[in-house]
Amino acid sequence: MSIALETTLAYFRAWTGGDFEAALGHIAPDVVCDGPAGTLTGIDAFRGFMGPFAGSLVSSRLLAAYGDDHTALIMYDAATTLVEQAPGAELHTVTDGMITAIKIIFDRQPFVEARRTKP
Amino acid sequence: MSIALETTLAYFRAWTGGDFEAALGHIAPDVVCDGPAGTLTGIDAFRGFMGPFAGSLVSSRLLAAYGDDHTALIMYDAATTLVEQAPGAELHTVTDGMITAIKIIFDRQPFVEARRTKP
């Protein structure tokens, strides 16, 4: 398996398995995360963004996972307490076994709706 | 290159190159497309969903593309007339050189916002 994908899947299995702090062990301290709301820099900002999502996870399923030496791309289905269908796709850059850059795509719309109707 | 990915990239290059009808030539008539708003079945429903997006495309950039015999996964940045940053990820199932299933992930939120503010 691709070295990058090994790291990505270790990260994915940790946070979807309920151990977000273990997942963060695969994230570089100066990670750059490009998501729907903009770019976050550093693991603390990343924790603030991804932690609540991970903490609300009900179930997940990896749909596809590919990678090569320094890049991995995955897509997954996820259900959270707030939103039942919250799939995501993540492109990771991996350097020396650490995820240094993440581009994440998901639909914010059902989260906005849920926050409106479930205050 | 993976056979599935060849088909996926031919599709991607056609619609991002401005020829959506040529792109549809890579889509199976009974395609099933699972997107943020639900599941669409058949190429006419797919045309109705993807056509307006393709028609509003200003620029695009393929960020990553992987595949194997029957599956391809891509992520891209896109700018449209309505939304400047509209990246997407697509997982394709490819059978006999035709895309038979698509799971597409993108953020609907900026489109909702844009329609609200640019009537």
Q: Could you give the C-alpha distances from A61 to A29, A57, A78, B3, B51, in angstroms and in order? A: 27, 11, 6, 25, 29
d(CA A73, CA A57): 20
Using an 8 Å CB-CB cutoff, list chain B residues near A107.
Answer: 36, 105-109
Q: Do residue B89 and residue A105 have CB atoms under 8 angstroms apart? A: yes
Using an 8 Å CB-CB cutoff, list chain B residues near A110.
Answer: 36
B7 contacts B98 by C-beta, under 8 angstroms: yes
Distance (Å) from the C-alpha of residue A101 to the closest C-alpha of chain B?
A: 13
Look at the block and give the residue holding tokens 């990820």: B89
**A30-87 per-position pLDDT tens digit:** 999 999 999 999 999 999 999 999 999 999 999 999 999 999 999 999 999 999 999 9
The pLDDT assigned to B113 comes to 92
d(CA A84, CA A65): 22
**B73-111 per-position pLDDT tens digit:** 999 999 999 999 999 999 999 999 999 999 999 999 999
Q: Is the pLDDT of residue B23 over 80?
A: yes
Q: Do residue A89 and residue B109 have CB atoms under 8 angstroms apart? A: no
- Percent of chain B with pLDDT strictly greater than 70: 98
Nearest to A111 by CA among B88, B53, B91, B107: B107
What residues pair up with A47 in beta bridges, in sequence order?
none
* Averaged confidence pLDDT in chain B: 96
Instruction: Tell me if the pTM is above 0.90.
Output: yes
